[in-house]
Structure formats: structure tokens, C-alpha cells
Amino acid sequence: MNIIKNCPIIESKSQTAMTLINESIEYIKQNALPKLNLIWLEATGCSGNIISLLNGENPGLYFLLKKMVNLKYDNTLSPSQGEKAFEEFLDALNTEFILVVEGAISLKDGGLYSIFARYKGDIITSAKAVKMAADKAKYILAVGTCSSYGGISSASPNPSDSISTFDYLNDKTVIRIPGCPAHPDWVTGTIAHLISFGMPLLDEKNRPLMFYSLTVHDGCTRRSFFNKGIFAKKLGDLECMFKLGCRGPVTKTDCPNRKWNQYVNWPIGDNTPCIGCAQETFPDGMEPFIRY
Amino acid sequence: MDKKELSILLKECYKNIFNLKNMLIYTQCPIKRTQIEDEILFEINKALYILEDYTKCRQREFTIEELSKYDGSLGNPAYIAVNGIVYDVSNSPVWGGGTHFGAVAGVDLTSQFEKCHKGDLTKLKNLPIVGTLKV
């Protein structure tokens, strides 16, 4: 016992982790990172991504709103409504903020298929609001497949002439966070990275590498069945669902490791083939979702 | 011809070419050299013919109707035709359930291939060839 007590290495070993944690907590307390403002705009979409965000855990929505960002405007969560809400949006534009856009941008008939607000008799279309905010935003995030690639909003025959936010703001750096809906961790994780370290590493399609570097197939729990050529014949079978039309091999997300709904389960864990919701050509190019 | 016969025949060709090559190194006479060179070319030709024969008897000719049976549904193999050659895409990871970005197996996909992949033949490089398409 005496030797252990005298040895500085062993003593420091048992303290290293704790020291590091305490140091980082101190660092955060002293150099309190400024809370950034956040504007969350809904264009031509289904509000699915904000609903998905409400379901977040580690960190949850409460932590996000309290510790990470000031949510200045959101179509769904803002307490005010009507012209007052739009005024709040205009005020927020004069600050430094992160812009999150969910939903595609409808362009037909001057964008009249997606109205953002009515202000003093004028109709403000979503396209116009997104442009206004994007001109002043520090960072722009396209959350959801519609916003990133066009998705369901611009699926054939595309009656509203929708295009993705990424294409609409083609002169700006837009981070794509595809997924239908996007996982809350992908959104909060990217925002956290923007706050603390700035721009995350992006791949060639502007997706954060930390969430979109591997395909679903790479991390699939049924991958060994694929390698051995054992395939499910119908839904409910426990083998690889590749022959039923699984889109895992062409879809880049970390679903197999991260899982959904408080990390409980994910589609393939529930005997459903991956439908490629985070894929560029979703939904037209990913059809048929099941084939047998 | 099976794989064993093929390997015996090819080995014989290889041995002949090897011997001729050695002879060529130690031959000074230009006339004799051209003779040996001709013999080497003959052996190479022979090897190519053997290979061609081997691939021909493995392949079959598909009509469009025959091809349409191999659409990847109900556990069927998934075949596609591009530029008159029939490829097996059953185990290609990007062809889940015999479908690929809106394209379905069992048909001639030459025009779609040209449109989407701009005729990039490296995409087909790793697919097993099962035959040719009868026009």
C-alpha cells in the first residue's frame, strides 16, 4: 500500500479523467461560449423535422433552448403569431444567427404555394423569407431531405415547382442534413459544433462527415447475412432484406449505431427495409420501397 | 470445356511462349529472330482463341422476353442488358430488390445507362457477364 501511495504515476492515473473533466467544466464556465441566435424557418414541408427535434435526447430540446441557442423564431414553436411574429423575425435578422431551413422552396407562381406571413397587406412567400434570412445568416443549415435535395416536396410530378434550399441558395455555403425526418442528434450535433468549433468537416455533398460518413449497409446488424448470401424472402424474416429492396447500400447515415426514438430501435431492427430517406433521389429514385 | 481443361491448355501456351522468348534472347540472326517472333504471335493468338471459346460456351443468348423473367422479384436473379451484353446484378449492392434508382431489372437499360452514367463503362466492370442480347 505504501508503494502505491508513493508512486506519482498511479496516483495521477486515478485522477486523470476527473482532472480533465473538471478542467473542461472550469473552462466552459470561465470562457462561457456565447449563445447564438437560431432562426428555424419552415418552407414547403411537413414540419416533420421540428417534431423530430422535440423528440431529441442527449441533449434534449430543453438543453438546446436553455444552454445552446436563443430560438428567435420558429413557425411552430414561436409564442407570438401573425404580424407580431413576423416583426420578431425581422428583429432577429439584425443579430448574429444560425439559419435552419426545413422544407423545399416552392417557386411556381412566384412562390405563392408556400406563404410565410402576411405583413401590412403584403404577402411574404417562403422563398422571399428564406432569401432575406440567408443574406444575413452566419451559418445556414438545410435540415431534412426536402431542404437538402428536394425530397417529397419536389417529387414527380412536382406541382409546386419546388427545389431544394441548397439549390435555391446556390451562392452560399449550406450544410445539408438530409433525412426524413433528420435525426435530432444530427441537428443538435451540428449546431453544437458550429457554436464551439465552427464549421464541421463536410463531405462532397456538404453533409457533416461525423454523421454521414458510412452507409447504412456498412454498419447494418444484418450485414453478415448479406456477405454469406442469405436473404429474407418476405417481410418479418430475420435475414438481410436486400432482395426485398433495401436501400441501405446507397444511403449514408449512422442509423444502425445511433438508432431512433431515444435510441430504442431503427427500421431494420423492426424488420422494415431501409427506404433511403436520406438519399439524394428520395422518394422517386428509391421506389419501390418493398418488392417481392 | 471446363476450368481444368482451360488451365492445362493455357499453361501449354504459356510454356511455349516462355521457351520462345528465351530463344529470342540468344539469337543474333535477324531472319531467325523474325521467325521466332512469328511463332510467339501464333502462340498468343492460340491462347486468345482458347479463351474466346471458353467464354462463348458459358454465355447464352437472351431474347427480350427471356430477359424479362430475370427481374429480381420473388427470388429470381436480376439481369440487365447494356449495349447488347447481359449482366447479372443480383448481388450488386446498389440493386436492392432488382431495382436501382427507379430502374427495374429484366430489361434493356442501354438508353438509361447512357443518360445517367454518361456511358461510363467502369460502372459495369465488376458485374458478372451472363450472355448477350439477341436483337
Contact B96 A248 (CB under 8 A): yes
Report the pLDDT value the prediction gives residue B57, as an integer from 0 to 100: 63
Q: Are strands B99-100 and B129-133 parallel, antiparallel or unpaired?
A: unpaired
Contact B102 A247 (CB under 8 A): no
Chains A and B: how many Cβ contacts under 8 Å?
A: 52
Contact A250 B97 (CB under 8 A): no
3-class DSSP assignment, residue B48: helix
Q: How confident is the model at residue A239 (pLDDT cuts 50, 70, 90)?
A: very high
Report the pLDDT value the prediction gives residue A22, as an integer from 0 to 100: 72
B82 and B43 part of one domain: no
d(CA A280, CA A164): 11
Q: Which residue of chain B has the CA closest to A284?
A: B102
Residue range A253-288, pLDDT digits in tens: 999 999 999 899 999 999 999 999 999 999 999 988
For B124, the domain range is 61-133
Q: Which residue of chain B has the CA closest to A273?
A: B96
d(CA A150, CA A253): 18
B50 and B101 part of one domain: no
Residue range A211-233, pLDDT digits in tens: 999 999 999 999 999 988 899 99
Residue range A177-213, pLDDT digits in tens: 999 999 999 999 999 888 888 899 999 999 999 999 9
B37 and B21 part of one domain: yes
- Closest CB from B75, B91, B97 relative to A245: B97
Mean pLDDT of chain A: 89
Is A222 in CB contact (< 8 Å) with chain B? no
B128 and B114 part of one domain: yes
d(CA B53, CA B10): 12
Report the pLDDT value the prediction gives residue A29, as an integer from 0 to 100: 72
Radius of gyration of chain B (CA): 21
Lowest-confidence region among A57-61, A141-145, A157-161, B36-40: A57-61
- Structure-block grid coordinates of residue B119: 456511358
How much is the average pLDDT of A151-176?
A: 94
Amino acid at A147: S
Look at B10 and A7; give whichever has higher pLDDT: B10
CB atoms within 10 A of CB B130: 18
Percent share of chain B, pLDDT over 70:
96
A223-286 placed in CATH 1.10.540.10: no
User: Which sequence spans correspond to the domains of chain A?
Assistant: 36-210, 223-286
Q: What is the DSSP string of chain A?
A: -HHHHH-HHHHHHHHHHHHHHHHHHHHHHHTPPPPEEEEEEE-BS-SHHHHHHHT--SS-HHHIIIIIEEEEEETTT-S--HHHHHHHHHHHTTS-EEEEEESBEE-GGGGTTSEEEEETTEEEEHHHHHHHHHHH-SEEEEESHHHHH-TGGG-TT-TT-EE-HHHHTTTS-EEEE--TT--HHHHHHHHHHHHHHSSPPB-TTS-BHHHHSSBTTTT-TTHHHHHHT-B-SSTT-SSB-GGGT--GGG-B--HHHH-BTTTTB-GGGGT-----TTSTTTTGGG--SS--
Domain count, chain B: 2
Nearest to A194 by CA among A256, A137, A125, A113: A137
C-beta of residue A185 within 8 angstroms of C-beta of residue A58: yes
d(CA A214, CA A220): 10
Q: How confident is the model at residue A4 (pLDDT cuts 50, 70, 90)?
A: low
Report the pLDDT value the prediction gives residue A193, as an integer from 0 to 100: 87
- Residue A1, pLDDT above cutoff 60: no
Nearest to A132 by CA among A83, A178, A97, A108: A97
CATH number of the domain residue B73 falls in: 3.10.120.10
Residue A233 distance to chain B (closest CA, Å):
7
- Residue A92, pLDDT above cutoff 80: yes
B121 and B68 part of one domain: yes
Assigned CATH topology for domain A36-210: Rossmann fold (3.40.50)
Report the pLDDT value the prediction gives residue B73, as an integer from 0 to 100: 85
Q: Give 10-residue mean pLDDT values along chain B (135 residues).
A: 80 91 89 90 88 73 90 87 90 89 91 88 84 85
B121 and B77 part of one domain: yes
Is A284 in CB contact (< 8 Å) with chain B? yes
Residue range A17-41, pLDDT digits in tens: 667 667 666 766 776 667 889 999 9
How much is the average pLDDT of A131-146?
A: 95
Report the pLDDT value the prediction gives residue B135, as an integer from 0 to 100: 77
d(CA A283, CA A289): 9
